[in-house]
Amino acid sequence: MLDQVQFEKNSELNRNRIKTVRGEIWLTVPVKRRLHTLLSEVRIATEEPWKRKHRRAIEENYREAPSFEKIAPTVFDLIEGAGESLLDLNLALDELFLRWSGFEGRIVRASELDAPGTGSERILNLCQALGGTKYFSGAGGLDYLDLSSFADANIEVVFQRYQHQEYSQRFPALGFLSHLSALDLFMNLGVGPSVRQFILSNARWVTADAAACL
């Protein structure tokens, strides 16, 4: 988790989308921040009733979803337990969703590691600090990663070629809505080996040469 990067306004760092009978809507966690605030320093605006709004929106739009009874209580408990740190909330949600996806590793904060630098240099230093031998990059990494430095460090770099497959959702008359919060996936498909396989089936990883041709 890159916890010492600058917070980006209007990004998914404090909001995400769910599907409703009227289409997609954003669920936003209100925050307090100054210009150039680091993610680790962003505080949640606790005086705003966002927890109640989020719970009501999830209940109204997913209570008939196949896995609502299994998923909702855990999510609601996490939301209710949120304090003032946006980073802590994000980490808790990430860990929960990763566990539901079958991930058995651990999440590490970049600030816990000795990995100075910026951009490509910092990514390489993070890989080395963790003893990594392969770096899985988003497609955008092709624009800024110094691949020769990774090769010199014997770290293989592969790039994601994401293909969003459809699954059964609530409100089918609206058609399938892609790129929603992972909450939509879990509410509709549940957790366990089958949802893990679905997630992995969407992932394609290619070399830099192949990624450059996409």
Q: In terms of Cα–Cα distance, which of 124, 115, 114, 116 is closest to 144?
A: 124
pLDDT at 162: 79
Helix (H, G, I), strand (E, B) or coil at 206: strand
Quick check: 74 and 96 in contact, CB under 8 A? yes
For residue 171 the two structure tokens come to 């409100």
User: In this model, does residue 209 exceed pLDDT 80?
Assistant: no
DSSP per-residue string spanning 110-151: GGGS---SSHHHHHHHHHHHTT-SEEEE-GGGGGT--HHHHH
Grade residue 203 by pLDDT with cuts at 50, 70 and 90.
confident
Helix (H, G, I), strand (E, B) or coil at 24: strand
pLDDT at 131: 95
Least confident range from 15-29, 77-91, 137-151, 169-183: namely 137-151
Quick check: 188 and 67 in contact, CB under 8 A? yes
User: In this model, does residue 35 exceed pLDDT 80?
Assistant: no
Mean pLDDT, the chain, integer: 92
For residue 166 the two structure tokens come to 């459809």
Grade residue 210 by pLDDT with cuts at 50, 70 and 90.
low
Work out the average pLDDT over 13-17.
Answer: 96
Quick check: 24 and 17 in contact, CB under 8 A? yes
DSSP state of 105: S
pLDDT at 212: 59
| Rounded percentage of the chain residues whose pLDDT exceeds 70 | 97
Quick check: 111 and 3 in contact, CB under 8 A? yes
**pLDDT, tens digit (0-9, with 9 covering 90-100), for 173-183:** 999 999 999 99
What's the rounded Cα separation, in Å, for the pair 192 and 196? 6
Helix (H, G, I), strand (E, B) or coil at 52: helix
User: In this model, does residue 14 exceed pLDDT 80?
Assistant: yes
**pLDDT, tens digit (0-9, with 9 covering 90-100), for 55-76:** 999 999 999 999 999 999 999 9
State the pTM of this model. 0.89
**pLDDT, tens digit (0-9, with 9 covering 90-100), for 129-155:** 999 999 999 888 989 999 999 999 999
